């Protein structure tokens, strides 16, 4: 990269770039001094000095381009679920102010009505890393076209429709757990976002904080997306297998029809269940949870600890494991700040020691909604989540509770599913 390009690109001067500029000025002054000196003393070697000067200019540009880069953007993906509306969804799940949300909605209206967003799709938000302002919202309308709402120079928003120009390739990655899924994936140079997508596909099946053991293995097949030959991001997870303590679990991405698309197990049962396996999402704990290395107190009837403790950093978001109504959100003695969610006539869940609550009593919550943040309030010696599941009034172990399987594919759909997954499964089992 030439130096003039570099200057054009650095609109927001980072500290590093400022230092680079000062350094450059200093070097230029030194260089000019050197030239005068050269002229005076070594007049006959002038030509050679020029060559040398050019080289040092090149070296300088090289040095500057090697300085560490501060990330320019931060990306957030918000999943749309049945019943979600654009404004409420963003108010709940993003950092955006209501004013910004309505500005986006209005700017997009002539191009695409965001009231039409569909469950099962995602809204991608791209924030400036430094100012935390929304730079771009991308909503994939279908596989060919996406809505792009971008921030304008006067802090407004403008919207366009554009074709998605990805080139995709399908890759298979495999690994073996020694300390954690996250570490195993990084060891295989797998994109962190792909690992999170893998864990998300198993979020109803495996608790990645509690279940993984040394020598567990995984294999997964997913898309890699490229734009103009450059790797951009992982695409959909097509299929995955995780062998946990000798038991294989599979997920296959399949679209029965527009309304029924998602992950199914090898028998064609939807993997989506009434409860998520864990109240903390893998993406927040990925790098901190390792097999057996962190203290987590388990469900233990003999000690009277009828709960699971998730050690997690202060402020880690806590999610409702299932749909329900908040029946308690406040201080509750030794539990400290606590949230209770009633899921139906049979089940409820409790979440204790929170640093901060994110819901109020009486509020309806959906599976995966953030209800509070990890803390150490009440009778607690360090930041952790105390998580209880109650069934018909009795505290039970959520990790061993067997829930009804998800809805099964039938008839022609099941036949099509089996035909579609057979090669994937063979690849995973290799
Ligand atoms: Zn506990």
Ligand 1 center–CA 41 separation, angstroms: 80
Looking at the fold, whether 36 and 121 belong to one and the same domain comes out as no
Q: Is 410 found in the same domain as 263?
A: yes
Number of domains in the chain: 4
Q: Is residue 240 part of a domain?
A: yes
Cα(312) to ligand 1 centroid in Å equals: 13
CB burial of 21-36 (b: ≥16 within 10 Å; e: otherwise) equals eeebeebeeeeeeeee
Q: Do both 42 and 88 map to the same domain?
A: no
Cα 307 to ligand 1 centre (Å) = 6
Does a structural domain hold residue 285? no
Helix, strand, coil percentages for the chain (3-state, nearest 5): 30, 35, 40
Is the predicted pLDDT of residue 11 greater than 50, yes or no? no
Distance 183 CA to ligand 1 centre (A): 27
Do residue 158 and residue 173 come from a single domain?
no
Measure 372 CA to ligand 1 centroid, in angstroms. 16
What's the mean pLDDT in 347-351? 98
Find the 104 Cα to ligand 1 centroid distance in Å.
43
Same domain flag for 82 and 142: yes
Its domain, for residue 81, covers: 73-163
Ligand 1 centroid, distance to 326 Cα (angstroms): 20
- Asked if residue 262 and residue 313 are part of one domain, the reply reads no
What CATH number should be reported for the domain holding residue 95?
Answer: 3.10.450.350
User: What does the pLDDT look like over 362-394, one tens digit per residue?
Assistant: 999 999 999 999 999 999 888 999 999 999 999
Q: What is the pLDDT of residues 319-338, one digit of tens each?
A: 999 999 999 999 999 999 99
**363 Cα: distance to centroid of ligand 1 (angstroms):** 25
Q: Provide the CATH number for the domain around residue 385.
A: 2.70.70.10
- Contact indicator for 109, 101 with CB cutoff of 8 Å: no
Whether 33 is in a domain gets the answer yes
Ligand 1 centroid from CA 384, angstroms: 8
**pLDDT mean over 271-290:** 81
What is the pTM assigned to this prediction?
0.64
Q: Ligand 1 centre from 210 Cα, in Å?
A: 14
Ligand 1 centroid to 298 CA: how many Å? Answer: 8
* CB-CB contact of 328 with 342 (8 Å): no
Token pair, residue 336, equals 């400290």
- Output the pLDDT for position 209: 84
159, 175: one domain: no
Q: List, edge to edge, every strand of the sheet that includes 122-128.
A: 73-79, 122-128, 134-140, 145-151, 157-163
Please tell me the distance between residue 248's alpha carbon and the centre of ligand 1 in angstroms. 30
Residues paired with 148 in a beta bridge:
138, 160
Q: What angle do CA 406, 349, 212 make, to 5 degrees?
A: 65
pLDDT in tens, 19-38: 444 555 555 555 555 454 44
Q: Which of the two residues, 405 and 49, has the higher pLDDT score?
A: 405
């Amino acid at each position: 990269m030439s130096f003039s390009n570099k200057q054009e690109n650095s609109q927001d001067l980072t500290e590093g770039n400022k230092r680079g500029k000062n350094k450059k000025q200093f070097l230029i002054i030194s260089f000019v001094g050197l030239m005068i000196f050269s002229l005076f003393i070594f007049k006959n070697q002038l030509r050679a000095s020029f060559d040398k000067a050019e080289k040092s200019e090149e070296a300088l540009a090289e040095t500057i381009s090697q300085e560490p880069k501060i990330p320019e953007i931060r990306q957030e993906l918000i999943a749309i679920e049945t019943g979600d509306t654009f404004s409420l969804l963003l108010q709940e799940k993003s950092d955006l102010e209501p004013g910004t949300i309505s500005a986006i909605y209005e700017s997009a209206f002539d191009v695409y009505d965001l009231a039409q967003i569909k469950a099962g799709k995602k809204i991608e938000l791209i924030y400036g890393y430094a100012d935390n302002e929304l730079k771009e919202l991308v909503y994939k309308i279908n596989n060919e076209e996406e809505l792009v709402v971008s921030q304008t120079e006067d802090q407004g928003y403008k919207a366009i429709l554009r074709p998605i120009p990805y080139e995709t390739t399908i890759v298979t990655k495999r690994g073996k757990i020694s300390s954690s899924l996250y570490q195993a994936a990084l060891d295989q140079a797998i994109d962190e976002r792909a690992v999170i997508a893998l864990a998300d596909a198993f979020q109803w099946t495996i608790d990645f904080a509690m279940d993984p053991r040394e020598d567990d293995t995984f294999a997964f097949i997913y898309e890699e997306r490229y734009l103009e030959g450059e790797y951009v991001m992982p695409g959909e997870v097509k299929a995955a297998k995780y062998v946990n303590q000798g038991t294989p679990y599979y997920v296959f991405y399949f679209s029965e029809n527009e309304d029924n698309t998602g992950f199914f197990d090898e028998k064609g049962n939807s993997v989506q269940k009434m409860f998520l396996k864990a109240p903390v999402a893998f993406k927040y704990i990925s790098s901190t949870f390792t097999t057996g290395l962190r203290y987590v107190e388990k469900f233990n009837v003999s000690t009277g600890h009828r709960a699971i403790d998730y050690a997690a950093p202060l402020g880690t978001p806590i999610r409702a494991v299932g749909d329900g109504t908040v029946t308690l959100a406040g201080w509750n003695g030794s539990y400290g700040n606590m949230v209770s969610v009633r899921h139906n006539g049979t089940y409820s869940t409790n979440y204790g020691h929170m640093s901060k609550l994110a819901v109020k009593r009486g509020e309806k919550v959906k599976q995966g909604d953030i209800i509070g943040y990890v803390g150490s309030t009440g009778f607690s010696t360090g930041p952790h989540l105390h998580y209880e599941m109650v069934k018909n009034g009795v505290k039970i172990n959520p990790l061993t509770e067997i829930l009804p399987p998800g809805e099964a594919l039938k008839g022609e759909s099941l036949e099509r599913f089996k035909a579609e997954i057979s090669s994937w499964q063979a690849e995973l089992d290799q």
